[in-house]
A = this chain, B = another copy of it.
């Protein structure tokens, strides 16, 4: 049995056959990119701020400067966080059936600020090491001022939907007879070779978490 929508607010209306509400589908989409968009409201006006996120279990985290307008507006407030990955252009035989292949997730909930220097530092280590295993302990340690300047937000992943499209176009049946090239132009995120900082000390080699980095 598929997981039912956790609320009417996240129930998918359009192309709902592409949508799911279970953690098994949601988590890999969140883990596939560090980039999300956080939606929040100030004086009735919606704002969307791109930022980096990470996941621990069934909670999402993001961070930023303690002076950030976005983080102050999101604290103890309703937010919507969206992640989207473009996987390809779907070229159909009519304009109507052109589409994209994608993975996307929408999460609603109340965001909360994490307090306590030790708690904040522990979360940041998980963020950095989650992408670059072992890096945190190789760095110059964080000092109290830096931790104080960092605001960490979290929200539970209990009101979310995931939408995924894959595969070739779905054309009208009669259009398959037309001599029009259809198919998919796949798109992916490519990681290029690392570029050392010109100010690196002589003879420093990139560690494994740099050389082997994948998204």
Interface of A toward B, CB cutoff 8 Å: 9, 13-14, 33-35, 37-41, 44-50, 52, 64-65, 67-69, 78-82, 84, 86, 89, 91-96, 98, 100, 102, 104, 106, 108, 124-125, 128, 131-132, 135-136, 138-142, 146, 149-150, 168-169, 171-172, 175-201, 204-207, 210, 213, 215
- The main secondary structure of chain A at its interface with chain B is mixed
A78-B46, A82-B49, A84-B35 known; A183-B195 Cβ under 8 A:
yes
Name A199's closest neighbour in chain B (CB-CB). B176
Asked whether, in the complex, the Cβ of A168 is within 8 Å of the Cβ of B197, the reply is yes
> Can you list 17 A-B contacts (CB < 8 A)?
A14-B69, A33-B86, A34-B100, A41-B45, A47-B80, A48-B80, A91-B194, A91-B210, A95-B124, A95-B136, A168-B197, A181-B196, A182-B197, A183-B196, A185-B192, A186-B191, A187-B192
What number of copies of this chain does the assembly contain? Answer: 2
**Would you give the shortest CB distance from A100 to chain B, in whole angstroms?**
7
- By CB atoms of chain B within 10 A, which of A46, A79, A188, A196 has the most? A46
**Would you give the shortest CB distance from A163 to chain B, in whole angstroms?**
9
Say which residue of B37, B44, B95, B106 sits within 8 Å of A41 (CB atoms). Answer: B44
A80-B48, A81-B48 known; A140-B185 Cβ under 8 A:
no
Say which residue of B37, B140, B182 sits within 8 Å of A37 (CB atoms). Answer: B37
**Would you give the shortest CB distance from A115 to chain B, in whole angstroms?**
19
Name A70's closest neighbour in chain B (CB-CB). B14
A204: chain B residues at CB < 8 Å are 179-181
**Would you give the shortest CB distance from A83 to chain B, in whole angstroms?**
8
A191: chain B residues at CB < 8 Å are 185-187
Asked whether, in the complex, the Cβ of A194 is within 8 Å of the Cβ of B205, the reply is no
**Would you give the shortest CB distance from A74 to chain B, in whole angstroms?**
9
